[in-house]
Amino acid sequence: MNFELKTLDLNLAATHKTDALIILVSAKDKPAKGVLSQLISEARKSGDLDASPAKLLSVWRPQGVAAPRVVLVSSGDGSARVVRQAVTAAVTSLKSFKVEHLTLCLSEAGDYRLQAAAQAIADASYVYTTTKPSAKASVLKRVVLALPTADQTKAAKPAFELACAQVAGVSLAKEWGNRPANFATPSHLADVAKGLGKKTGMHCQVLGPKEIEKLGMGSFAAVARGSVEPLRFIVLQYHGAPKSVAPTVLVGKGITFDTGGISLKPGPGMDEMKFDMCGAASVLGTFEALSHLQPAINVVGLIPTCENMPDGSALKPGDVVTSMSGQTIEVLNTDAEGRLILCDALTYATRFKPRAVIDIATLTGACVISLGHVRSGLFSPSDALANALFAAGEAVLDPCWRLPLDDDYAEGLKSNFADVANVAGREGGSITAAKFLQRFAKDYPWAHLDIAGSAWKSGGAKGATGRPVGLLLHYLLTSTPASNKPSRRSTKA
């Protein structure tokens, strides 16, 4: 879908040709002249449109309005959160109609309202079709985001470009998160990364089993042993600043299917383990967004990707493997495989001399118990890094919550037969998993995002969410020191 930013006050909106016109009605809006303003005033007076967030009133062919369908929706206090709710409700109400051209009128764009509105439109109109030919694809092709004055439109252009980039990134992450494991193998993810590597400022390298063996990534290689699908280690680089500027490194867990290995998972719900590569998908989505924005920063994406399967050569409980760092690991549970592939990637990240490293993983069911499906788990020994990630999530409605990393939590990871065990007890499982990773991330500021509860939804709404692309993108753009070199996009302009 194509987004456009346009200047339309309510009088111009009345004459604007579009299949459907959505008007966000804020409690701050004052009565004015014009057919749409009058319609809003009458709806308020009659009680058909109160100030309740996402309250809807649909009107068919109102007199004096070019659009055949008009949806008035209350945006309450006008905050980004309520804008998202309102736009989601309005677009959902139109899904049964053939709306190819949609226009959304906002009264203002600040405080991330534009990004919230654009993402809500994309999410509400999304239809997965890749392996479901019977599904009716979304017919929505063109979306106009309208502001009432030319000055507002001009000021909103950077926010608009960010919104479009975020939508593109989240869409890519959702698409690959939703694909079944036989349509999203490690080789498929590598192909996506190679495609990104051809874009301006991007470079991609894909390593296979032989290269991984030479690097000494014994922990990563051990997880892949049980599958006929060969592992891939993806190294994506975005260069928007001089090489002297230290990059931020994003590490995404890419288990394209997780049976649990020899420590086999229960059958019910195992199909959802295709989502175990959503950390990898979020890194790919973030790089897609960066390709649109071309900011003056440097970013590296590392994606260890493989399947966790049980066959005769699979990793066994009690096996000891040697990580790239040289530390040996006793594998007490083969279903705790994500940390085994991430630890080698975290060691590899050291060669980039990063300013910060953030790993993103659907790591533990314990995090879902702790935080549910609203917030991602955030772990970091660095207050500055943790605070910046938390603030980014709050701003773009992709929230996380910081959990502790006390050294006492690592006691359960002690082993009689290796330097460390890959699991501790059930108590504090998301924290002990983070403590395991922390052992391999001591050379740089590090944070871990456990997205097991936020990366996908179950039940009737089953599907990937594309999180935390929004959080990562906003963090990179607001917290990464940019060089004096202008972005490529600003150079082109």
- What element of type H or E holds 283? helix 278-293
**DSSP per position, 34-90:** SHHHHHHHHHHHHTSS-SSTT-EEEEES-TT-SSSEEEEEE-TT--HHHHHHHHHHH
Residue 81 is encoded by which pair of tokens? 């959160």
What is the reported pLDDT for 381? 98
What is the reported pLDDT for 491? 34
- pLDDT block averages, 10 residues each, the chain of length 493: 96 97 87 89 92 94 96 94 97 95 93 95 97 94 97 96 98 98 98 98 98 98 98 98 96 98 96 98 98 98 98 97 98 98 98 98 97 98 98 98 98 98 96 98 98 97 98 94 61 33
What is the reported pLDDT for 18? 98
What is the reported pLDDT for 456? 98
Neighbours of 240 (CB within 10 A): 25
What is the reported pLDDT for 489? 63
Task: Compute the CA torsion angle 186, 190, 196, 201 (nearest 10 deg).
Answer: 130
What is the reported pLDDT for 482? 63
Active-site residue list: 265, 339
Please state, in angstroms and rounded to a whole number, the distance separating the CA atoms of residues 194 and 378: 30
What is the reported pLDDT for 109? 85
What is the reported pLDDT for 485? 61
What is the reported pLDDT for 243? 93
Sorted by where each starts, the structural domains of the chain and their CATH numbers stand as 2-148 (3.40.220.10), 170-488 (3.40.630.10)
What is the reported pLDDT for 32? 77
